[in-house]
Amino acid sequence: MTAAPPFSIEASTALLERSKRSLAMGVSSGMRKAGAPAPLFFERGEGAWYFDADGHRLLDYTLAWGPLILGNAHPAVIAAVTDQLSRGFAFGAQHRGEIELAELMTSVVPGLDRVIFSNTGSEAVQAALRLARAFTGRPLFVKFEGHYHGWFNNVLVSYRSKATDPVTALPTCGGQPHHEFADTVVVSWNDRAALERAFADHPGQIAAVLTEPLLANSGSCEAEPGFLAGVIDCCRRHGAVSVFDEVITGFRLALGGAREHFGLAPDLSVYAKAMAAGFALAAVGGRKEIFDVLDDGRTIHAGTYNGNPVNLAAGAATIRTLSAPGTFERMHAHGRALRARIESAAAARSIPLVTSGSGPVFSVHFGLTAKPRDYRDTLRADANRYAAFRLALLHRGVYVLPDGRWYVGAVHGEPELAHALAAIDAAMGDLAESTP
Ligand SMILES: Cc1ncc(COP(=O)(O)O)c(C=O)c1O
């Protein structure tokens, strides 16, 4: 095994120090602070490769936390966006691009009768909750422990927070007054009895049940057989709206997201990230009856940047590119190959480890011997060992997220796989050597 090459962070560290003098935290999202050895500064991205300020060329499996499913600088996206830029940046009014993307989405995603556009996943989740409340006339909604639905106070609850018994709604950070999540009911995931109890405890009060269909934000835990169908069924029986937060799974597990992948039809789904390949675009889609609350004025959906023509052009180009036959099969196969190598490289060195998730988004857990079933199981994983593995990968030219999650995009091909597999072997070797 050759020794890992040094990894200089001099330029990134200097830029971070300079950044901190004017930009609070020095980074633009709190999630990016944790990037050991330092949050890296990037100069440019091309396909699946990033080029950082210290001159490294890094193979990217973060996809910018998910959106870059086609990688950076994809020619189809550049062509669509530059064409639209030359014809107008914003209208604050209707344009053909809205119809085109809405028609595209309703034709490729099963069970979407209508969509609305928004800019970020956080906003779109709020729009879905408002639709559900206006539709049902009820105040409360259920979310599951460990699930992330954006940074707004009513959903940033029991995410990366203490695991209490029984499960209670807890804020994730400072500045979240209790009254802002007083209508949020939190239950354990993969626990149908707990969900039924929530409905029994709050009769006629629950407007919606919000779930990540794959718990990508806490260890890529998979729903147990029948659980997601059970959520939909439970909502139907109790007159509530089932909402899949497909900000991660949408246009990733399949072209039709979790709906297609699992063959399920929740009332609403929320999309962002992969739907526009890195441009700020989000959407809510689902049953016509629920969107009638907008048509008949029971509630409103608004936003200066909603339906922005440039972002919508990026969205349409992305979905058309992803529609090419074999795209999702290749992504799943690539993900499976990475997981298999991570598992076999660990097993060969007697390092306990499991992976969980689905091909295009999966997580690596050191120290676990069975796949985590929910957020609480992920707390038992050895985060320090993953941090060491991540660092070793970085030295070998592979860039992954700090929380154990890997994103595979349509941009990852055979050369990337070969590079990644060699890096995984070498990094696992480094880890075995450095551990007593
Ligand atoms: C499942 C899920 N929902 C909502 C969001 C929030 O989306 P955004 O960061 O675009 O506001 C995220 C972001 O990671 C997410 O993973």
DSSP codes, 104-135: HHHHHSTT-SEEEEESSHHHHHHHHHHHHHHH
Among 269, 273, 305, which is best to mutate for testing ligand 1, by the most ligand atoms less than 8 A from CB? Answer: 273
Q: Which of 264, 295, 322 is the last residue of a domain?
A: 322
- Asked if residue 105 and residue 51 are part of one domain, the reply reads no
* Top mutation candidate among 247, 251, 279, 305 for ligand 1, by most atoms within 8 Å of CB: 247
Question: How far is ligand 1, taken at its centre, from the CA of residue 150, in Å?
Answer: 5
181 CB within 6 A, ligand 1: no
| pLDDT tens digit at each of 436 positions of the chain | 577 778 999 999 999 999 999 999 999 988 888 777 889 999 999 999 999 999 999 999 999 999 999 999 999 999 999 999 999 999 999 999 999 999 999 999 999 999 999 999 999 999 999 999 999 999 999 999 999 999 999 999 999 988 888 899 999 999 999 999 999 999 999 999 999 999 999 999 999 999 999 999 999 999 999 999 999 999 999 999 999 999 999 999 999 999 999 999 999 999 999 999 999 999 999 999 999 999 999 999 999 999 999 999 999 999 999 999 999 999 999 999 999 999 999 999 999 999 999 999 999 999 999 999 999 999 999 999 999 999 999 999 999 999 999 999 999 999 999 999 999 999 999 998 886 5
Q: Are residues 28 and 53 in the same domain?
A: yes
How are strands ordered across the β-sheet holding 140-144? 114-118, 282-286, 268-271, 241-245, 206-211, 140-144, 184-187
Residue 1 forms part of a structural domain: no
Same domain for 87 and 44?
Answer: no
DSSP class of residue 60 equals: E
Let me know if residue 220 belongs to a domain. yes
Beta carbon of 403 within 6 Å of any ligand 1 atom? no
pTM for the predicted model, two decimal places: 0.97
Q: Is 287 in the pocket of ligand 1 (CB under 6 A)?
A: no
Residue 22 lies in a domain: yes
Of 286, 305, 322, which residue constitutes the final position of a domain? 322
Asked, for residue 2, whether it belongs to a domain, the answer is: no
- Is position 133 within any domain? yes
What is the number of other CB atoms lying within 10 angstroms of the CB of residue 122?
A: 19
| Residue 125 Cβ contacting ligand 1 at under 6 Å | yes
CA distances from 31 to 26, 34, 64, 148, 319 (A): 12, 7, 11, 12, 27
Is 287 a member of any domain?
Answer: yes
Same domain, 87 and 157: yes
State whether 65 and 178 are in the same domain: no
- Alpha-carbon dihedral 251, 219, 284, 113, rounded to 10 degrees: 60
Q: Looking at the 3D structure of the chain, how many domains does it have?
A: 2
CA-nearest residue for atom 8, ligand 1, is: 121
| pLDDT value for 426 | 97
- The answer to whether residues 55 and 79 belong to one domain is no
- Contact between residue 36 and residue 402 where contact means Cβ atoms under 8 Å apart: yes
Supply the pLDDT for residue 302: 96
Best residue among 122, 144, 403 to mutate for probing ligand 1's pocket (most ligand atoms within 8 Å of CB) is 122
* Judgement on whether residues 225 and 256 belong to the same structural domain of the protein: yes
- Long-range contacts at 134-137 (CB < 8 A, ≥ 24 apart): 134/293, 134/298, 134/299, 135/207, 135/241, 135/289, 135/290, 135/293, 135/298, 136/207, 136/208, 136/239, 136/240, 136/241, 137/207
Q: HSE, CB side, 13 Å, CA atoms: give it for residue 425.
A: 8
Looking at the domain assignment, is residue 224 inside a domain? yes
Q: Tell me: do 257 and 397 sit in the same domain.
A: no
Mark whether 408 and 268 lie in a shared domain. Answer: no
Residue 34: the pLDDT is 75
CATH number of the domain within which 50 lies: 3.90.1150.10
The CATH number covering residue 155 comes to: 3.40.640.10
Residue carrying the six token digits 């509530």? 240
pLDDT of residue 3: 77
pLDDT of residue 31: 83
- 204: in domain: yes
**Atom from ligand 1 closest to the CA of residue 66:** 14
Q: CA-CA distance, 272 to 175, in Å (whole number)?
A: 26
State the Cα–Cα distance between residues 397 and 426, nearest whole angstrom: 11
CA of 124 to the centre of ligand 1 (A): 9
Q: Is 247 in the pocket of ligand 1 (CB under 6 A)?
A: yes
| SS3 at position 208 | strand
Q: Are residues 51 and 155 in the same domain?
A: no
Q: Are residues 62 and 82 in the same domain?
A: no
Domain that holds residue 346: 10-72+326-434
pLDDT attached to residue 247:
98
Q: Which two tokens stand for residue 317?
A: 């180009």
pLDDT of residue 4: 78
**Are residue 223 and residue 89 in the same domain, yes or no?**
yes
- Determine the distance separating the centroid of ligand 1 and the alpha carbon of 160, expressed in angstroms: 15
Place of tokens 């996943």: 121
CA of 321 to the centre of ligand 1 (A): 23
Question: 212: Cβ below 6 Å to ligand 1?
Answer: yes
The Å distance, Cα 347 to ligand 1 centre, comes to 34
Q: Is the CB of 245 under 6 A from ligand 1?
A: yes
Q: Is 122 in the pocket of ligand 1 (CB under 6 A)?
A: yes
Exposed, middle or buried, 178 (CB in 10 Å: 0-12/13-18/19+)?
Answer: exposed
Active site residues: 148, 245, 273
* Confidence at residue 435, expressed as pLDDT on a 0 to 100 scale: 65
Give the residue from 292, 322, 352 where a domain finishes: 322
Strand partners, 313: none
How many angstroms separate the alpha carbon of residue 122 from the centre of ligand 1?
Answer: 6
For 78, the token pair is: 């550049």
